[in-house]
A and B are shown apart, each in its own frame.
Chain A
Amino acid sequence: MSRLFVFLVPVVVIAIFWAMARYESRRIHDPTRKSFFERNGTVLGIVFLLLVGFWTLFLVVLPYLYMVQESFHPKLPPMQRGGPEDFLTLEQYKSFFIQPTDGAVNDTHMWAFVFSIATSVLVTIINFAICYPLAYYMAQAGTTQKVRLLMLALIVPYWVNEILRAFALRLLMATKGLINQALLGIGLVDKPVDFLGLDIGLYVGLSYAYLLIMVFPLYNAIESLDKNQIEAARDLGAPWWRIHKDVVIPYAKPGIASGCTMVFMLSAGALAAPQFLGGPSTLWFTSIVYDFFFQAFNWPRGAAYAFILLAACIAFVMLMLRMFKVSLGETIR
């Protein structure tokens, strides 16, 4: 029943949009305005419509709608699907808070959720702290040649695939890894530091993975700032940190918001780095989602968890945007 809804919703939405477009064109009534097919030709027009329709419906709307409705169903073997046992329920969402088996508070999953969000915030802050000076240097201070070299140095490591990068970091940070051996060799520590167990490996891995995603929006934003503005502030007596606080950062705010949003979202949804670099007792929320899908074959509960994460992330980002007075439109400029 409710699975029908997945296919019905897009049809209804399209019908509403079509009606709105008709109403709009009748209301404005501009005789010189050409219709979509007159502008593009019949054949090309149909091709456009089909391609865009296929993309939005089959690649974007339907899969998500299917997951949404799945999350409101109980977990059932294929035989019983559509049977009397198959009804709409909030049970999967409830299971995030209360264990369905024993009715106890599901603190393992909730803690993993809070930990993932908090770590993602931390990673975003670390990334911003690293990338802002870098982007400022590339956009305003560096010579063309040095900037090119730096850009290359930033991009080339990303040719290496994620798994290899994660394991390389693991080797570096392991108890008997290079860093620990160096520290022991110098005599800074007398027993190896457990970087992975302390989740330092996780922070480093996640920060490193999304460095570029932070650098480029910042670079784009700062690059278009008129150098004279910086010089004007300096000429008026501002020390360097005030120039950044009063002139550069307010100007680059949309870029900062865009970079931070993407890093936060990607980091909260990361899978590989937390699995390979997290400590043995570290439970990452997406790993739980992954396990529901592929270990427990509990798609409804996995979907419900994934949507909880999505909703929380969106809410958090919106809150941050509101706090820093940036509109959503600005971040995608």
Chain B
Amino acid sequence: MSADVELDRVTIRFGNFTAVNSASLKIRNGEFFSFLGPSGCGKTTILRTVSGFLEPSEGTVRIGGQDMAGIGPNKRPTALIFQNLALFPLMTVADNITYGLRVRGMSREDRARRANELLSLIALPGQGGKLVSELSGGQKQRVAIARALAVEPQVLLLDEPLSALDLKLRQHMRNELRAIQNRVGITFIYITHDQGEALTMSDRIAVMNEGIIEQVGDGRTIYDQPDTAFVASFVGENNPFNGMIAQADDSWAVVETAFGRLRGRNPKKLKAGSNAILFVRPESLRLGPGEEATTIQTTVKNVAFEGNASHLFLKGATNKDITLTVGRQDTHSVPEEGSTTVISYDPQLGLVLPEGKLARE
């Protein structure tokens, strides 16, 4: 059984501080949905509200169409996986996994059977008798997932569960989580500040900043068509060029920046005279001149070779550098540090958005 989750103008305040400001969205049944945002953006607060540890100050949380007001976390059809996993250290792996079933009064034999089923689901067969401390990080992760799945929740909530793992294991666990979700078919709500995790695993992502949901969409939409300056700068790398719009029509805008006039798409249909930011991603910039109003002249500050690509840091208009990423095929043409160079971009890949807060570096 699986259920959809709906937030209806949910506001959560702690004293004078508004952690989440009128969040409304609908998470579909069986979806892998991520909340992505920097720390302190309110994503964990939303998760705790869905799981029932917090009550919204205003608005409604509905799970499977049912209003959750006044229903405690032990009565909700959700299960939460904690950031530090919160496995019970004094219980064996099997006791951990079946704890939720034990409090529901399931018999010892049924629990043992269920524990074996779940242990094979998480590829740890026969390890039920071990203590949690005898497991590796990735194994603990899987035990936490099994413990949450054991109570057959309709919605599984995950609070940055991969953040404690090292890079290789993290990438492996991403695939594993996705595979488990496909197998059990229930709604997953995933909290992360790691855009890589959000982009690779999720069906849809909500990008949050300072308690506000900035944009909801699938990974491609979030990356290629960000709605706000924050989303553009938070998801993936991006080079912002601030300025005022000199000319604009329904599809294009030309921004007067410190590097002269630069052109980009104008999806928000901004008018001439308004303040805007033109975003060009590092991988969209290329060496050499381009067509009119897409060419920038600057100096190379330093070059960082990263194996599969090289990053050029170029002197920007402010103290923040312009980053340009050169793929493996082009590395022979990388200019020397300190030299003057001309770079340009395809205007299709330049994006003009209204001025707004950028993600902190």
Contacts and interface: CB of A to CB of B under 8 A. Distances in A.
B99 interface: yes
A232 B72 contact: no
A333 B107 CA distance: 37
A257 to B, nearest CB: 15
Contacts of B75: 237
B107 to A, nearest CB: 16
B86 A250 contact: no
Interface string B60-103: 00000000000011110011101110111110000000011001
B73 A231 contact: yes
B53 interface: yes
B360 interface: no
A144 to B, nearest CB: 15
Given A234-B74, A235-B73, A250 B103 contact: no
A229 B78 CA distance: 17
A212 B355 CA distance: 61
A90 B177 CA distance: 74
Contacts of A234: 72-74
B82 A239 contact: no
A190 interface: no
A43 interface: no
B104 interface: yes
Contacts of A107: none
Give the one of B52, B74, B89 with max A CB within 10 A: B74
Contacts of A242: 103
B88 A229 contact: yes
B99 A235 contact: no
A247 interface: yes
A232 B103 contact: no
A237 B73 CA distance: 7
Nearest to A230: B86
A246 B73 contact: no
Given A236-B99, A237-B151, A231 B74 contact: no
A233 B72 contact: no
A232 B90 contact: no
Contact of B74 (A236, A246, A251): A236
Contacts of A247: 88
Interface residues of B, number: 25
Contact of B103 (A226, A229, A236): A236
A8 to B, nearest CB: 47
Contacts of B79: 235-236
A236 B147 contact: yes
Given A228-B86, A238-B74, A239-B74, A233 B80 contact: no
Interface string A247-267: 100110000000000000000
A232 B82 contact: yes
Contacts of A236: 74, 79, 99-100, 103, 147-148, 151
B323 interface: no
Interface residues of A, number: 17
Give the one of B72, B75, B99 with max A CB within 10 A: B99
B51 interface: yes
Contact of A239 (B83, B100, B103, B148): B103
A246 B82 contact: no
Contact of A226 (B53, B72, B84, B90): B84
A251 B90 CA distance: 7
Contact of A228 (B72, B78, B82, B103): B82
Contacts of A238: 74, 99-100, 103
Nearest to A228: B86
A231 B74 CA distance: 9
A232 B103 CA distance: 13
Nearest to A251: B90
Given A235-B51, A235-B80, A236-B147, A229 B74 contact: no
Interface in A78-110: none
Nearest to A227: B86
Given A236-B74, A236-B79, A231 B86 contact: yes
B100 A226 contact: no
B82 A231 contact: yes
A289 B87 CA distance: 51
A265 B148 CA distance: 44
A251 B88 CA distance: 9
Contact of A250 (B90, B99, B147): B90
Given A237-B151, A238-B103, A232 B86 contact: yes
Give the one of A226, A237, A242, A246 with max B CB within 10 A: A237
29 contacts: A226-B86, A228-B83, A228-B84, A229-B86, A229-B88, A231-B53, A231-B73, A231-B80, A231-B82, A231-B86, A232-B86, A232-B87, A233-B99, A233-B103, A234-B72, A235-B53, A235-B73, A236-B103, A237-B74, A237-B100, A237-B104, A238-B74, A238-B100, A238-B103, A239-B103, A246-B99, A247-B88, A250-B90, A251-B90
Given A226-B84, A238-B74, 10 more contacts: A229-B86, A232-B82, A233-B103, A235-B51, A236-B100, A236-B103, A237-B75, A237-B100, A238-B103, A251-B89
